[in-house]
Amino acid sequence: MSYKDYLSITPEIEEAIKEGKPIVALESTILSHGMPYPENVEFAHKVEEIVRAEGAIPATTAIIGGKLKVGLNSEELEIMCKAEGVGKVSRRDVAVFLATGQTGATTVATTMLIASLAGIRIFATGGIGGVHRGAQETMDISADLQELAHTPVCVVGAGCKSILDIGLTLEYLETMGVPVLGYQTEDFPAFYCRKSGFKVDYKLNDANEAARILKTKWDLGLEGGFLIGNPIPEEYALDYDEMEKVIVKALDMAKKEGIRGKATTPFLLAHIKDLTNGVAFASNVQLALNNAKIASQIAVELSKLK
């Protein structure tokens, strides 16, 4: 058997891959472990609508029935959204979930992996994982960063999650040779906030320029992907200092409850939602939709270059 035997690609997406049409990969962890039911169902359909409106084809990924799913039907989306017995799958978990037939939601790292295996180069998410605060002691560093270093997929997100140590995350990406680009901004976004106090490596003017840079790197055979930081729309952005207070409070709660590892991010996002009376969740939805829009525009431009 080869990896192709584990891939289950919908006919529409399979045809699009063969014809070089624009496709945008979408993760399922944001559905199963990042949003409550049934709001996540509405989001799942809305994000796919946005991708199609921009001229691209959505490819939501998951692990179901021993297969790496590329594109989900309504029933499969419902399974991921209800999240009953749905695990959170990073690269280390993929073989276990496939071999044992468990159902898994794909993280940024696993979505990149599946997208690459299927031949999809553009992926839209909310924000990537990274180096957690206090990682000097805990060594809690997301597998997303290694995936970006080695897998040829461009990730469009609102920077990295505000709960992380953003400075160390950017240092790690620099060490691994991952280009960090800003979509029409010089500032690296911090998820709910448009600025983090850090700069990107290069400011992108538009989707065409982004596509030309992606193509050039991969034409050269250079390893790895890209991170494109796309700021949350201004009308949904939150104040950095206020969010920092909320995050510190949520981190303290996680520490007291002994939360660690892959449970950390879902715990923090849920409590940040509660601490902001749902405002942070609304921003999370809007930034993710905006990332899908920009990723689709880049995918369209990249398909033209091919």
What's the rounded Cα separation, in Å, for the pair 132 and 140?
Answer: 6
Nearest to 64 by CA among 41, 50, 52, 80: 80
* From 125-139, 184-198, 289-303, the region with the lowest mean pLDDT: 125-139
Cβ count near 6 (within 10 Å)? 17
Could you give the angle at the alpha carbon of 25 between the alpha carbons of 24 and 29, nearest 5°?
A: 145
Q: Tell me which of 69, 161, 262, 273 is the catalytic residue.
A: 161
Pick the CATH number of 3-305 from 3.40.120.10, 3.90.600.10, 3.40.1790.10, 3.90.79.10: 3.40.1790.10
Could you give the angle at the alpha carbon of 141 between the alpha carbons of 269 and 216, nearest 5°?
A: 100
Residue 152 token pair:
């040829």
Nearest to 30 by CA among 298, 230, 284: 284
Coil, helix or strand for 185?
coil
Nearest to 226 by CA among 298, 137, 138: 298
* From 165-169, 193-197, 256-260, 290-294, the region with the lowest mean pLDDT: 256-260
- pLDDT for 253 beyond 80: yes
What confidence category does residue 267 fall into, taking pLDDT thresholds of 50, 70 and 90?
Answer: confident
Instruction: Note whether 145 and 155 are within 8 A (CB).
Output: no
Taken in order 259, 260, 262, 264, the sign of the CA dihedral is positive
Is 161 catalytic? The answer is: yes
- Please state the rounded mean pLDDT for residues 179-185: 98
- Please state the rounded mean pLDDT for residues 227-248: 91
Is 27 catalytic? The answer is: yes
- Report how far apart, in Å, the C-alpha atoms of 196 and of each of 125, 127, 145, 244 are: 18, 13, 18, 11
Q: What is the pTM of this model?
A: 0.93
In DSSP notation, 258-295 reads: T--GGGHHHHHHHHHHHHTTTHHHHHHHHHHHHHHHHH
Q: Tell me which of 27, 48, 54, 301 is the catalytic residue.
A: 27
Nearest to 197 by CA among 240, 133, 250: 240
Could you give the angle at the alpha carbon of 270 between the alpha carbons of 269 and 271, nearest 5°?
A: 95
Instruction: Note whether 126 and 287 are within 8 A (CB).
Output: yes
Which tens digit of pLDDT belongs to each residue from 47-67?
Answer: 999 999 999 999 999 999 999
What confidence category does residue 42 fall into, taking pLDDT thresholds of 50, 70 and 90?
Answer: very high
Residues 6+ apart with CB under 8 A from 137: none
The residue ranges of every structural domain in the chain are 3-305
